[in-house]
Amino acid sequence: MVTTVFEEDIIFESSGTTETINSRHYVKSRGIYEQSFLTAFDHFYGNPDEWCVLGLLPSYLERQHSSLVYMVEELVKRSGHEKAVFTCTTLTGYMSCCRRWSNQDKNPADRSDVCIAGFCGTVPLPLQYTLVMETGGMKGRRKEMIRQEVHDVLKKAFSVSSIHSEYGMTELLSQAYSKGNGLFQAPAWMRILMRDEDDPLTIKARVGSSVRG
């Protein structure tokens, strides 16, 4: 995907499936993407440096051109917390990362807001004072589950009352967020259009910057 003629600064690829060719987005300046996801995160959750971001993205780290990996890694860097980390391709790594936060309630002085980003497994591990955010899954890599099924599994595993969600596409360079109620909110520059199922070129409605997913 390109508009006009330019030499790309970075290339992002969609996750796709094992049987298709991934779409590619040639980005003129990576700063455009950084400005987009940082501004959106700040709008919905505040400055990244106010969080300790724990990025767990199994199966994604093997990909060289993931916009999601780029975003989460940058949020981890900007969080600046000594325990912030971006990792996890194995179950051992997953457990090691999550144990950082499982005992926070035992030391009130060590309490801090934590954002765990990614679909990070189902091993039971109670977490306290933690925001858990799923970012979807790798298409075609495992049994497909609807979002509510994923959230039920994660709520039980992590002993939390709700699961937040991030939705983004390589082609959009933008994110929408849900804080656990199934209603996604998007930044002002991300418009949502409802198209006819039988005729994708026909726009049925414009729903602003929020949609239920």
pLDDT in tens, 163-208: 999 998 887 888 999 998 888 999 988 888 888 889 888 888 776 6
Express each pLDDT in 56-88 by its tens digit: 776 665 667 889 889 988 998 998 787 777 765
At residue 120, the pLDDT reads: 53
pLDDT band at residue 97 using 50, 70 and 90 as cut-offs:
low
Bridge pairing between strands 85-87 and 52-56: parallel
At residue 45, the pLDDT reads: 93
Mean pLDDT, the chain, integer: 78
Q: What percent of the chain has pLDDT over 70?
A: 70
- pLDDT > 60? residue 19: no
Higher pLDDT, 160 or 99: 160
What's the whole-model pTM score? 0.80
User: What contacts 142, CB < 8 A, 6 or more positions away?
Assistant: none
